[in-house]
Amino acid sequence: MKAGLTTSLGFALLGGIGIGLALSRARPPFRPPPDSAMPGGRLGAEIRLGEAIFNDPRHQAAAYVGNDLRCADCHLRAGRQAGSAPLWAAYVAYPAYRRKDHKVESFAQRLQGCFEFSMNGKPPPLGGKTLVALESYANFLARGLPVGPHAQGRLYRPISQPTTRPSYASGARLYAARCAACHGGNGAGLMANGTPVFPALWGKDSFNWGAGMADINHAAAFIHAFMPQNAPGSLSPQQAWDIATYIDSQTRPQDPRFTGNLAATRHLFHDTPFSTYGLSINNHVMGDPAETPPAGP
């Protein structure tokens, strides 16, 4: 009797949730405006410059960039792709509190962070040409989107937890079979005539230890949703966790916040199960200055 009541109540609740889901599914996902909708004039020029920087920071913002990555390598379709930390969803979400720095950051300050860590570079000045152009581009992409931190499609699409403890050895095998053809057996990517064709996943030309992609959970989510680029969706969550564990257990440029002491730096900035920084893996200590390329310019 009692059980029956609980069950029917459960169904009633589930029914309610079903309707809620149906309603939210019915709302069409936000679509950022196409390039053809960019305005003319001085603002239009600024928006176009922002898009050019996003697609080619090495040449368009050289002073602040220490590797050959492009913003668009990790924020796909020039920052438009939902579930790939799109610029439009980010633009409306700031100022926001960030645990990484223990403070509330503006959108422009968040952009500075991706230069410092993902681009292994240095932060462009607030109010300077580079950030104003990127802010203009992000503002354009966000036109029509309500302000707030929960835009659907923000950040990387979360991945389910691994079923077994992620395995470096399995990640190494999968990497060789599914990724190395483009990103190289040594993770260095591929350059052709000075132009990056496939981005570096580790080594001196990749993102540094402070970058979001150096955290296994972010890398696993991205890889599961979008890689291999020629067959996205073909990896199981467990396979994505294994490969991310392998990639994020390799040499890469130093965290610019390195205090001179690995244990202290791990404690301050990397004290999570998703970072291997400061840990010993296959007899290599991750971030060991003796084996670690310096942080960027």
Task: State how far the Cα of 103 lies from the Cα of 118, in Å rounded to an integer.
Answer: 20
Tell me which residue has tokens 């422009």.
108
Eight-class DSSP state of 275: -
Contact string 179-218 vs ligand HEC (x = CB under 6 A): x-xxx--------------xxxx-----x---xxx----x
Contact window for ligand HEC (CB under 6 A) among 6-14, 21-29, 161-169, 220-228: 220-228
DSSP 8-state secondary structure symbol assigned to residue 164: S
| Tokens, residue 147 | 């302000």
Q: Near ligand HEC by CB under 6 A, which window of 32-40, 224-232, 249-257, 273-281?
A: 224-232
Tell me the C-alpha distance between 185 and 194, whole Å. 20
Q: Is 141 in the site for ligand HEC (CB under 6 A)?
A: no
Residue type for 170, please? S
Site for ligand HEC in 5-64 (CB under 6 A): 54, 57
Q: Which is nearer to ligand HEC, 23 or 35 (CB)?
A: 35
- Kindly state the smallest distance separating residue 163's Cβ from ligand HEC, in Å: 18
**Sequential DSSP letters for 53-81:** HHH-HHHHSGGG--SS--HHHHSHHHHT-
Indicate the SS3 state at residue 260.
Answer: coil
Closest CA relative to residue 109, chosen from 119, 120, 124:
124
**Subset of residues 94 to 133 that bind ligand HEC, contact rule: CB under 6 A:** 110-111, 114-115, 118-119
Footprint on this chain of ligand HEC (rule: CB under 6 A)? 54, 57, 69, 71, 73-76, 85, 89-90, 93, 110-111, 114-115, 118-119, 134, 154-156, 178-179, 181-183, 198-201, 207, 211-213, 218-219, 222-223, 227-230, 235, 243
